[in-house]
Structure 1
Amino acid sequence: MSPNPVSPGSSRPAAVVNEEIRALWRDTRVRLSAEGRARLERLYVEWAAAVRAEVVEAA
Protein backbone atom coordinates (compact mmCIF):
# COMPACT_ATOMS: atom_id res chain seq x y z
CA MET A 1 0.00 0.00 0.00
CA SER A 2 1.19 3.50 -0.77
CA PRO A 3 2.55 5.51 2.16
CA ASN A 4 0.58 8.52 0.88
CA PRO A 5 -2.74 7.25 -0.36
CA VAL A 6 -4.72 9.73 -2.40
CA SER A 7 -8.43 9.73 -1.86
CA PRO A 8 -10.68 11.11 -4.58
CA GLY A 9 -11.63 14.71 -4.04
CA SER A 10 -8.73 15.52 -1.76
CA SER A 11 -5.54 16.68 -3.36
CA ARG A 12 -2.35 18.22 -2.15
CA PRO A 13 -1.00 21.32 -3.82
CA ALA A 14 0.84 20.63 -7.08
CA ALA A 15 4.04 22.10 -5.63
CA VAL A 16 4.04 19.56 -2.79
CA VAL A 17 3.53 16.64 -5.16
CA ASN A 18 6.18 18.05 -7.49
CA GLU A 19 8.70 18.02 -4.63
CA GLU A 20 8.04 14.31 -4.09
CA ILE A 21 8.53 13.68 -7.81
CA ARG A 22 11.81 15.60 -7.75
CA ALA A 23 12.96 13.66 -4.69
CA LEU A 24 12.62 10.41 -6.62
CA TRP A 25 14.88 11.81 -9.36
CA ARG A 26 17.54 13.45 -7.15
CA ASP A 27 20.22 11.11 -8.47
CA THR A 28 19.56 10.41 -12.15
CA ARG A 29 22.15 7.61 -12.11
CA VAL A 30 19.93 5.50 -9.86
CA ARG A 31 17.31 3.38 -11.61
CA LEU A 32 13.90 3.26 -10.00
CA SER A 33 12.61 -0.08 -8.80
CA ALA A 34 9.24 -1.35 -9.99
CA GLU A 35 7.76 0.02 -6.77
CA GLY A 36 9.46 3.37 -7.35
CA ARG A 37 8.13 3.58 -10.91
CA ALA A 38 4.62 2.74 -9.69
CA ARG A 39 4.88 5.44 -7.03
CA LEU A 40 6.12 7.92 -9.63
CA GLU A 41 3.18 7.09 -11.88
CA ARG A 42 0.73 7.70 -9.01
CA LEU A 43 2.47 10.98 -8.22
CA TYR A 44 2.18 12.10 -11.87
CA VAL A 45 -1.55 11.41 -11.79
CA GLU A 46 -1.93 13.25 -8.49
CA TRP A 47 0.16 16.18 -9.76
CA ALA A 48 -1.93 16.50 -12.93
CA ALA A 49 -5.15 16.50 -10.88
CA ALA A 50 -3.73 19.13 -8.53
CA VAL A 51 -2.70 21.36 -11.45
CA ARG A 52 -6.18 21.06 -12.97
CA ALA A 53 -7.78 21.91 -9.61
CA GLU A 54 -5.53 24.94 -9.22
CA VAL A 55 -6.41 26.18 -12.72
CA VAL A 56 -10.13 25.78 -12.03
CA GLU A 57 -9.76 27.70 -8.74
CA ALA A 58 -7.91 30.51 -10.50
CA ALA A 59 -10.63 30.82 -13.14
Structure 2
Amino acid sequence: MPTSPPPSGAARSVEELNAAIRAFWMGPGGHPTLPLTDVQRAEYQALIAELERVERGDVTTAA
Protein backbone atom coordinates (compact mmCIF):
# COMPACT_ATOMS: atom_id res chain seq x y z
CA MET A 1 0.00 0.00 0.00
CA PRO A 2 1.80 3.23 1.01
CA THR A 3 5.35 3.58 -0.14
CA SER A 4 8.25 4.77 1.92
CA PRO A 5 9.85 8.13 1.19
CA PRO A 6 12.71 8.25 -1.31
CA PRO A 7 16.31 8.17 -0.11
CA SER A 8 17.62 11.51 1.13
CA GLY A 9 18.18 13.92 -1.75
CA ALA A 10 16.19 11.87 -4.28
CA ALA A 11 12.84 13.02 -5.54
CA ARG A 12 10.13 10.82 -6.97
CA SER A 13 8.62 11.43 -10.38
CA VAL A 14 5.04 12.53 -10.92
CA GLU A 15 4.24 8.98 -12.06
CA GLU A 16 5.72 7.44 -8.90
CA LEU A 17 3.84 9.87 -6.68
CA ASN A 18 0.55 9.31 -8.50
CA ALA A 19 0.98 5.55 -8.10
CA ALA A 20 1.66 5.95 -4.37
CA ILE A 21 -1.38 8.22 -3.97
CA ARG A 22 -3.64 5.77 -5.83
CA ALA A 23 -2.38 2.97 -3.56
CA PHE A 24 -3.97 4.72 -0.58
CA TRP A 25 -7.41 4.44 -2.10
CA MET A 26 -7.20 0.86 -3.33
CA GLY A 27 -7.45 -1.98 -0.86
CA PRO A 28 -7.45 -5.74 -1.34
CA GLY A 29 -9.15 -6.82 -4.54
CA GLY A 30 -9.01 -3.32 -6.00
CA HIS A 31 -11.77 -1.93 -3.81
CA PRO A 32 -11.54 1.51 -2.20
CA THR A 33 -10.23 1.56 1.36
CA LEU A 34 -12.02 4.18 3.46
CA PRO A 35 -11.66 5.82 5.84
CA LEU A 36 -7.94 6.34 6.14
CA THR A 37 -6.31 6.03 9.54
CA ASP A 38 -4.67 9.13 11.02
CA VAL A 39 -1.24 7.77 10.04
CA GLN A 40 -2.39 7.03 6.48
CA ARG A 41 -3.99 10.48 6.20
CA ALA A 42 -0.73 12.17 7.27
CA GLU A 43 1.30 10.14 4.76
CA TYR A 44 -1.29 10.84 2.05
CA GLN A 45 -1.11 14.58 2.72
CA ALA A 46 2.70 14.43 2.58
CA LEU A 47 2.50 12.68 -0.81
CA ILE A 48 0.10 15.33 -2.12
CA ALA A 49 2.45 18.10 -0.94
CA GLU A 50 5.44 16.35 -2.55
CA LEU A 51 3.49 15.93 -5.81
CA GLU A 52 2.63 19.63 -5.82
CA ARG A 53 6.30 20.56 -5.31
CA VAL A 54 7.37 18.28 -8.18
CA GLU A 55 4.66 19.65 -10.47
CA ARG A 56 5.73 23.23 -9.68
CA GLY A 57 9.34 22.31 -10.36
CA ASP A 58 10.50 23.02 -6.80
CA VAL A 59 12.55 19.80 -6.80
CA THR A 60 14.60 17.88 -9.31
CA THR A 61 13.44 14.33 -10.00
CA ALA A 62 15.91 11.50 -9.63
CA ALA A 63 17.54 10.19 -12.79
Structure 1: which 4+ aligned runs deviate by more than 4 Å? none
Compared with structure 1, are the counterparts of its residues 6 and 42 closer, same or farther at alpha carbon in structure 2 (3 Å cutoff)? farther
Residue 19 of structure 1 corresponds to 19
CA shift in 2, pair 1:31/1:17, >3 Å:
same
Cα 1:29–1:20 change in 2 (3 A) is closer
Deviations along 1:6-37, one digit per CA (max 9) or x if unpaired, are 75x64211110110000001133431000000
Gaps of 5+ in 1: 55-59
Q: Which moved more, 1:39-48 or 1:19-28?
A: 19-28
Q: TM-score, normalised by structure 2?
A: 0.65
> Which consecutive residues of structure 2, in runs of 5 or more, have no partner in the other structure?
59-63
Q: Which residue of 1 aligns with 2:53?
A: 49
Whether the 8 Å CA contact 2:24–2:44 is kept in 1: the answer is yes
Return the structure number with greater relative CO, CA threshold 8 A, min gap 6.
1
Q: Quick one: distance in 1 between partners of 2:13 and 2:5?
A: 14
Q: Answer 1 or 2: which has greater helix percent.
A: 1
Question: What SS class does the counterpart of residue 40 from structure 1 fall into?
Answer: helix
Q: What percentage of residue pairs aligned between the two structures are identical?
A: 29
